[in-house]
Amino acid sequence: MSAAGRVAVDAVGGDHGLTVVVAGAVQAARRFAIPVTLVGPETEVTAELGRHETTGLDLSVVHAADVIGMDEHPAQAARRKPNSSIAVAIREAKEGRAVGMVSAGNSGAVMAVALVLLGRIPGVERPAIASTLPTLKSATLVLDLGAVTDPRPQHMVQFAWMGHVYAERVLGRPSPSIGLLSNGEEASKGNQLVQEVFPLLAAEKGLRFHGNVEGKDVPLGTVDVVVTDGFTGNVALKVAEGIASLTTQLIREELTKSWPRKLAALTLRPAFRAVRNRLDSGEYGGAQLLGVDGTVIIAHGGSSETAIANAIRVAAEAAARDLSATIADTLRRAAESTTRASATGTPPAS
């Protein structure tokens, strides 16, 4: 049992409970050869694991007595349950027995516990939730998706830099373009926050700021990274998921209206599955809590077995990229560059 690439998984988080998470962990161990530690009530987790064929797979169980429910108040639950599966899994990562953790549980509680146990990366005032969303081209990273509902302008600049590092190191996009989500492309558009953030991003050296982007630019893949506040980002993400699901439901309704349609639809089943997979957020493996000093992946509460397996893969990949050190370095250099620019009176790039 080594910590190399090992991912700790909150075994009891998520709408579908233990069964789906354990199956996802087994899938990750088999498909991606990732060692997994399942964290939760030991007897139950072990029993569930016993239902799977796990010969040759590196799967272990670590006991956690408490479970934080999906509806519990995040901060309160985090305080009252120091031995929750979330906290124990994060401690596995913090203390080096795992390289990162995954939870499909109460995301507010994951954030609260991660912030306390792992702390922030130097230079990051507020961690952000970042996830890639499907686009026509490949994928766009969007942050923040709900960690900070009322960020200050400088928090958004930190989001941009964290997105820059993630896009470069995890998505493999050299010099990634950064867009600011707004209600129009023109520099004059935006609410007050966006109008304050725009000139700050334009002045950051080394950041390829594209300018404002609109909601439609997310699925178009206009930029590599879309920066927004956590309120707007969360609404946008859930609208996107809702519309994708509405579209596939409308198609299903139409395709089952008559026998000839049903037959034709049968032929096209693999095509529809391919579309669903390309749109399915589960395929993208959950969101990363960027800015805490460690690898924390927040999977969708409704994650399927495959979504959990993908989240575990993303955790292992992100951990291997050493994002924390790079983010700290990048933010330090950005701060120095800003200080130098104001000290020497160099006008900021526009």
Residue of the chain from 172, 257, 259, 344 that contacts a second copy (CB under 8 A): 257
Q: Per the structure block, which two tokens stand in for 49?
A: 């694991």
How far apart CA 27 and CA 21 sit, in angstroms, is 10
Q: Per the structure block, which two tokens stand in for 42?
A: 């030991």
Stretch of 1-9, 267-275, 281-289, 341-349 contacting a second copy, by CB under 8 A: 267-275
Regarding 259 and contact with a second copy (CB under 8 A), the answer is no
Regarding 214 and contact with a second copy (CB under 8 A), the answer is yes
How many residues bind to a second copy according to rule CB under 8 A? Answer: 59
Instruction: Enumerate residues 157-186 that contact a second copy by CB under 8 A.
Output: 181-184
Regarding 340 and contact with a second copy (CB under 8 A), the answer is no
Stretch of 145-153, 161-169, 325-333, 335-343 contacting a second copy, by CB under 8 A: 145-153
Regarding 41 and contact with a second copy (CB under 8 A), the answer is no
Binding mask 271-290 toward a second copy (x if CB under 8 A, else -) reads xx-xx--xx-----------
Stretch of 45-53, 56-64, 232-240, 329-337 contacting a second copy, by CB under 8 A: 232-240
For a second copy, give the closer residue by CB, 172 or 260.
Answer: 260
Regarding 65 and contact with a second copy (CB under 8 A), the answer is no
Regarding 254 and contact with a second copy (CB under 8 A), the answer is yes
- Adjacent-strand bridge partners of 289: 129
Peptide bond before residue 144 is cis, with ω within 30 degrees of 0 = yes
Regarding 247 and contact with a second copy (CB under 8 A), the answer is yes
Regarding 67 and contact with a second copy (CB under 8 A), the answer is no
Regarding 187 and contact with a second copy (CB under 8 A), the answer is no
For a second copy, give the closer residue by CB, 124 or 240.
Answer: 240
Which residues contact a second copy by CB under 8 A? 134-136, 146, 149-150, 181-184, 190-192, 194, 214-220, 228-232, 234-251, 254-255, 257, 260-261, 264-265, 267-268, 271-272, 274-275, 278-279
